Amino acid sequence: MAKTKRGTKGLASKLRELGLAKYPGAHLKSPWPGHLDLAVKDKTFAYLSVDGEPFRISAKLPHSASAALMLPFTKPTEYGLGKSGWVSAAFPEGDEPPMDMMLAWIDESYRAQAPKRLVAELDGGAAKQPVAAKKAPAKKVATKKTVAKKAASKKR
């Protein structure tokens, strides 16, 4: 990974701003002091470090976790979240994280955590609700027993 002058300063804040602007229903969540994570419907989709600390991110990656975990700066997220596809990445100050990858992770994580209607809204349309097909009432098949019952009721 190449060292750059820009580093990680302010990156978490920038990702928060982008996340809030792009994702329907996204809001900040502070599960404990010193955290400002991205969430949707109160479900976190990106744990981000606070400014002033080395940049860290954790995201739910149901599709790309195995590939992400091959990178030297990643590991399964602690507290058992790694078992559910959560991946954490940490970058020392001075190392610039691959911004396109961080944005892709946030996108994948949002899609994994958000309700389907919000994902559909993100994709440019309203959620498509399945239209229930009206079924014709089932035809009753006349059996010997039902024919006999009908005939008996007519005789009365």
Protein fold of 11-122: Aspartate Aminotransferase, domain 1 (3.90.1150)
Residue whose pair of structure tokens reads 């479900």 in the numeric block: 43
- Report the distance separating Cα 7 and Cα 141, nearest Å: 76
- Quickly state the pLDDT bin for 10 (edges 50, 70, 90): confident
- Considering the chain, what percentage of its residues have pLDDT values greater than 70? 74
Instruction: Report d(CA 93, CA 11) in Å as an integer.
Output: 11
What DSSP designation does 95 have? B
Average pLDDT in the 43-67 region?
Answer: 92
Boundaries of every domain in the chain: 11-122
pLDDT digits (tens, 9 = 90+) for 84-134: 899 999 988 778 889 999 999 999 999 999 999 999 999 987 555 554 555
Q: Cα(first)–Cα(last) distance of the chain, in Å?
A: 94
Based on the number of CB atoms within 10 Å of its own CB, is 134 exposed (0-12), middle (13-18) or buried (19 or more)?
exposed
Strands of the chain, DSSP E: 26-29, 37-40, 43-48, 55-60, 74-76, 86-91
pLDDT averaged over the chain? 83
* The predicted structure's pLDDT at residue 2: 41
Residue 72, pLDDT score: 92
Question: For 107-118, how does the pLDDT look when each residue is reduced to its tens digit (9 = 90+)?
Answer: 999 999 999 999
